[in-house]
Amino acid sequence: MLALSSNPSYIGVNLNDSHEWNIAAKWWADWISSGRDIYRAEILGPELLKASGDFNGLQVLDVGCGEGWFSRILASNGANVTAFDIANDLVEIAKEKESASPQGIEYLTLDAEDIKQNWAVEEFDLVTASMALECVPNIELALEGVAAVLKPGGRLALTAAHPDSENIRHAADEPNSTSREWIPSGLNQRRGDPSAPPIMVWRMAILDWKQLIIDSGMIVESVQEPLLDESLADGKPALELATTNPPFMVITARK
């Protein structure tokens, strides 16, 4: 039996992060559209797509969809996609993109902690979450919802910041600690607006991720730690680090 490395209290944790993401919505959508996010293009997208398996014609729920980046990838590969995000401004951008190029994606404004209250039990074949579940304050409740709406044998595929990645270690109060911490995301540095309220994420050990998934009623299938191809580092220190230290992890689980 695995044991959580810590059992955090939610005191001091903002239990609704829609405000932060609504403020960041235009910046985030512009960043995604720019195509300059090499991690997204070379690691997050391809690895999460691979982890999702064969979903052609299946019912898929995309958690924390943002402006719809991965939802559109899912739909273009044959999925019947329902997607949601807590930030209405991001959902509206996703809806605009859907209207411009229809793919049959249904976008909703919703808190991930309310999944169980919004869909029938065993409604989806696959649930995906691209760098999203780590942003949910009560992640236990979100994972319970995921487990509830997955069909028997259904799959969860998610990406999250690796607990040993440079951004996570720099943001943590105790860089070498395995404790679970609610910390500012590395996205805040990239956005470069110190006056904006910070986007927050959970930093926690892989062991904690596994145990949370198991406690929700799912079985962890795999934890992958992909690296950036050396040919893409192009002499940039931050990218070179990602060729030896995994910046992200990809977790798959089944109900």
Query: What percent of the chain is helix, strand and coil (3-state, nearest 5)?
Result: 40, 20, 40
Is 243 a domain residue?
A: yes
The span from the CA of 241 to the CA of 75, in Å, is: 33
**pLDDT attached to residue 85:** 97
**59 phi and psi angles, rounded to 5 deg:** -90, 120
**Structure-block tokens of residue 86:** 């807590």
What is the strand order of the sheet 59-63 is part of?
106-109, 80-85, 59-63, 124-130, 150-161, 248-254, 219-224
- Domain of residue 169 covers 18-254
Asked if residue 8 has pLDDT above 70, the reply is no
Is 211 a domain residue?
A: yes
What percent of the chain clears pLDDT 90, i.e. is strictly above it?
A: 71
Asked if residue 11 has pLDDT above 50, the reply is no
Is 4 a domain residue?
A: no
Q: How confident is the model at residue 193 (pLDDT cuts 50, 70, 90)?
A: confident
Q: How confident is the model at residue 115 (pLDDT cuts 50, 70, 90)?
A: very high
CA dist 78 → 21, 62, 101, 243, 246 (Å): 29, 14, 15, 32, 30
Is 11 a domain residue?
A: no
Is 175 a domain residue?
A: yes
Asked if residue 6 has pLDDT above 70, the reply is no
Higher pLDDT, residue 74 or 164: 74
**Structure-block tokens of residue 124:** 């989806």
Tell me, letter by letter, the H, E, C secondary structure of 3-47.
CCCCCCCCCCCCCCCHHHHHHHHHHHHHHHHHCCCHHHHHHHHHH
Task: List pLDDT tens digits, range 137-150.
Answer: 999 999 999 999 99
**pLDDT attached to residue 189:** 78
Is 9 a domain residue?
A: no
Q: Looking at the 3D structure of the chain, how many domains does it have?
A: 1
Is 63 a domain residue?
A: yes
Average pLDDT over residues 229-241: 87
Side-chain half-sphere exposure of 16, counting CA atoms within 13 A = 9
Is 224 a domain residue?
A: yes
Task: List pLDDT tens digits, range 27-71.
Answer: 999 999 999 999 999 999 999 999 999 999 999 999 999 999 999
The span from the CA of 222 to the CA of 224, in Å, is: 6
Strands 219-224, 248-254: pairing kind: antiparallel
Asked if residue 15 has pLDDT above 70, the reply is no
Nearest Cα to 24, choosing from 112, 90, 83?
90
Per the prediction, the chain carries an average pLDDT of 89
Q: What is the DSSP letter of 201?
A: E
Higher pLDDT, residue 192 or 197: 197
Ranges 9-23, 89-103, 117-131, 214-228: which has the least confidence = 9-23
**pLDDT attached to residue 2:** 45
Q: What is the CATH number of the domain that holds 237?
A: 3.40.50.150
Q: How confident is the model at residue 173 (pLDDT cuts 50, 70, 90)?
A: low
**pLDDT attached to residue 89:** 96
Side-chain half-sphere exposure of 240, counting CA atoms within 13 A = 4
Strands 200-203, 248-254: pairing kind: unpaired
**pLDDT attached to residue 1:** 40
The span from the CA of 223 to the CA of 206, in Å, is: 8
**pLDDT attached to residue 171:** 57
